[in-house]
Structure 1
Amino acid sequence: MLSTTARTRLGRAKHKARTDRSDLYDLLDAALVCHLGVVADGTPMVVPTCYGRIGDTLYLHGSTGARSLRAGGEACLTVTLLDGIVLARSAFHHSVNHRSAMVYGVLRTVTDEQERLAGLRALTEHLAPGRWDAVRPPGPKERAATRVLALALDEASVKVRTGPPVDDEEDLALPVWAGVLPVHRVFGAPETAPDLAFDLPVPDHVAQRAYPA
């Protein structure tokens, strides 16, 4: 079960709350980009970035020179997947079908080299499953220039909206089309780098995600 705190308890639309921890995992594993909210040098910042998950920990990375990642401390991370545009008979009741998560916690700078590499592997594999073992791993200089942060999933909430529009009773007779326009995410055909030194086929771990698969 997900934790319930003053920060994660929904104040509105409580029926959209999900309390099963598997709902959080499913959303984080399906999405690719998060938005990380931090305060750096007194300035609030929201940084879009990629992440990877190992159990109950999210791993993020960036340059050691990035001001937003040097801050550490309290953070709020959000992830959203848009599943559909909900078109109602009235403008007021238009909405979106979505899955969203909000995670609160303290960013921890990962210093253990084994955990750092595990976090970087999780990040790479989350974006491109099978990629880590197919490429050159980061070298000493690259690792030294990279900051790896960990955020525990101890305090999180999940919100989900599904289904058709919910119009007012008096609007149901209006001659206005209502329904849902689904939103799907697909990967296109792989595009080979123009400077590829060898005539290589697209590897299976990439091709199997392309559309059409």
Structure 2
Amino acid sequence: MSTPPSHLTPSRLAKRSTQDHEVICSILDEALFCTVSYSVDNRPFSIPTAFVRYEDKIYIHGSVGSHFIREIEKGIPVCISVMLTDALVVAKSAFSHSVNYRSVIIFSNAEKVEDLNTKRAAFEWLTNKIVPGSWDYLRPMKDSEVKKTTALAFSFDEACAKTRSGMPKDEEEDLGLPIWSGLIPIQTNYLAPVADELSQQIPLPKHLV
């Protein structure tokens, strides 16, 4: 197995990292949001946004007038990060506290999606990821709306996942202390939908039940 390039190798606890495609895809499919980081004129920018994976690319969208979108659609280098938090790791000392997480870092360049059918498909994939089953229920997206929105695709050939799981790893001299240690699990759940004033009398659609 070839050694991954240095920018895909964590400087600390590299054994927790992997370039396994299935692991990377599983994290990307569960996460709803990513952060896109880039540099313009030696000034750093970092923008959180929704995204979706389809096959071997991830897609984001934004207004054609967005400064963020207009900069990265030029194909400048970007770093995309995703993190899922599974638990807070509470040790017997603050120094040994940690987090159980699953993360992905991607180095890529934007590919602007020009074809209207592909753009529309990307918006459908993203919409159904954020609110599953909603695309076919909604008023169809107009061609003018598709044209007013930019879709960008990114390959994730250069990607690395890093994870932590398990209980705290306390210092040996702390193991006998009468201090509670363990995990505080964290979950992200969809709660019951709340209708706006115009929807009070409209039945909740099946995909939201």
In the alignment, what sits opposite 1:115?
118
Deviations along 1:138-180, one digit per CA (max 9) or x if unpaired, are: 2122112111110101110001100000011111011111111
- Conservation of the 8 A alpha-carbon contact between 2:88 and 2:99: yes
Structure 2 counterpart SS, 1:131: coil
Does 2:131 align with 1:128? yes
Q: 2:185 corresponds to which letter in structure 1?
A: P
Does 2:188 align with 1:185? yes
Q: How many residues align?
A: 206
- Conservation of the 8 A alpha-carbon contact between 2:116 and 2:146: no
In the alignment, what sits opposite 2:45?
45
Equivalent runs, 1:72-151 vs 2, <5 Å: 72=72, 73-151=76-154
Structure 2 counterpart SS, 1:61: strand
Percent of matched pairs sharing the same residue: 35
In the alignment, what sits opposite 1:172?
175
RMSD over equivalenced CA pairs, Å: 1.8
Q: Distance in 1 between matches of 2:49 and 2:9?
A: 25
- Conservation of the 8 A alpha-carbon contact between 1:4 and 1:155: no
Structure 2 counterpart SS, 1:10: coil
Structure 1 counterpart SS, 2:99: strand
Q: 1:43 corresponds to which letter in structure 2?
A: R
Moved more, 40-49 or 18-27: 40-49
Q: Distance in 2 between matches of 1:35 and 1:122?
A: 19
Moved more, 15-24 or 75-84: 15-24
Query: Following TM superposition, by how much is the alpha carbon of 1:53 offset from its aligned partner in structure 2, in angstroms?
Result: 1.2
Stretches of structure 1 that go unaligned for 5 or more consecutive residues are 208-213
Query: Following TM superposition, by how much is the alpha carbon of 1:41 offset from its aligned partner in structure 2, in angstroms?
Result: 5.4
Q: Distance in 1 between matches of 2:39 and 2:147?
A: 24
In the alignment, what sits opposite 1:26?
26
Stretches of structure 2 that go unaligned for 5 or more consecutive residues are none
- Conservation of the 8 A alpha-carbon contact between 1:85 and 1:180: yes
Q: 2:55 corresponds to which letter in structure 1?
A: G
In the alignment, what sits opposite 1:211?
none
- Conservation of the 8 A alpha-carbon contact between 2:110 and 2:153: yes
- Conservation of the 8 A alpha-carbon contact between 2:54 and 2:125: yes
Query: Following TM superposition, by how much is the alpha carbon of 1:42 offset from its aligned partner in structure 2, in angstroms?
Result: 4.7
* CA spacing shift, 1:40–1:63, aligned 2, 3 Å: farther
1:202 to 191, 198, 204: 204
- TM-score under structure 2 length normalisation: 0.93
Structure 1 counterpart SS, 2:79: strand
Q: 2:18 corresponds to which letter in structure 1?
A: R
Structure 2 counterpart SS, 1:177: coil
